[in-house]
Amino acid sequence: VGVALAFDLPRFSSGDRDQLSKRFRSMVDTFESLFSNGAISRTEVTFLPGGDGGVLAMKTSKQSAVRVVADLCRALEIESDEREPAIQVDSRVGLHYGEIPFYRTADGLARPTGLVVLIADAIISDEAAKRKGGVVLTGSFADAVVGGQVRHLEDRFELLPPLTSGPAQGISRFVSR
């Protein structure tokens, strides 16, 4: 069992070559800071790049994954602080957990796949999630994080409408306040 952390970087590939290079460097620096400060262990994470973001499959508890997301969002905020909007690296992050199978690429790299990965990506890809930004959790993940305390869930998260199609169809989801 693992946690899939999908992230999307709005505007990541827009702009000129210099802006793209600066954004890419900021993302590399952000992930390097998470590895160097111990927020993420290189042995517990597998990366699946894709488009303007990707998926991290983590062998960790739900509570540890929430700390990683908090660290990631804080690091992206710091990396974007006092930069012109064209080179900021703000993001949307989706979290879901469950069994995450892996496949091997032609180069022998292990890559995460399966329903958990697809759900983590789907919950941040619709217009409601794009408008809100931030961290989006599936209902089951959010409930586990607050230990079933509905009051805490309502205090910390806003309910988003469920998706009507795709792998996350009908799954409740929450966005951080």
Q: Is the pTM of this model over 0.85?
A: no
Highest mean pLDDT among 10-19, 86-95, 131-140, 142-151: 131-140
Residue 147: partners with Cβ closer than 8 Å, 6 or more residues away: none
Biggest alpha carbon–alpha carbon distance for the chain: 48
Highest mean pLDDT among 15-19, 96-100, 155-159: 96-100
- Residue 87's pLDDT is 64
Residue 18: partners with Cβ closer than 8 Å, 6 or more residues away: none
Q: Which residue has the higher pLDDT, 9 or 93?
A: 93
Highest mean pLDDT among 8-17, 51-60, 77-86, 141-150: 51-60
d(CA 97, CA 103): 18
d(CA 75, CA 90): 10
Taking all residues of the chain, what is their mean pLDDT, rounded to a whole number? 82
For the residues 133-148, what does the mean pLDDT come to?
A: 81
- Could you read off the pLDDT of 34-55 as tens digits, one per residue? 888 887 787 888 888 877 778 8
- Could you read off the pLDDT of 146-162 as tens digits, one per residue? 777 767 777 778 889 99
Measuring CA to CA, which residue among 106, 104, 131, 101 is closest to residue 118?
101
- Residue 12's pLDDT is 66
- Residue 86's pLDDT is 65
